[in-house]
């Protein structure tokens, strides 16, 4: 009878780990929020 136990190589997931995905998402959100705050600063200076 053949061995039916799972293999380590087969269970290895491809792609980014959860920590990598979270850090990429955080970096993306930080860059977007910095751009928005820069625009808000320019708008607030124009209103004065």
Report angle CA 28, 33, 35 to the nearest 5 degrees: 100
Cα 22–chain centre separation: 4
Q: What is the pLDDT along the chain (48 residues), one digit of tens a residue?
A: 677 777 766 655 667 788 899 999 999 988 888 888 877 777 777 666
Residue 23's pLDDT is: 92
pTM confidence score: 0.44
Q: Where are the beta strands (DSSP E) in the chain?
A: none
Residue 12's pLDDT is: 59
User: Token digits for 27?
Assistant: 């970096």
């Amino acid at each position: 009878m053949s061995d039916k136990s799972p293999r380590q190589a087969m269970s290895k997931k491809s792609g980014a780990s959860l920590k990598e995905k979270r850090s990429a998402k955080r970096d993306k959100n930080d860059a977007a929020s910095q751009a928005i705050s820069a625009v808000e600063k320019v708008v607030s200076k124009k209103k004065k």
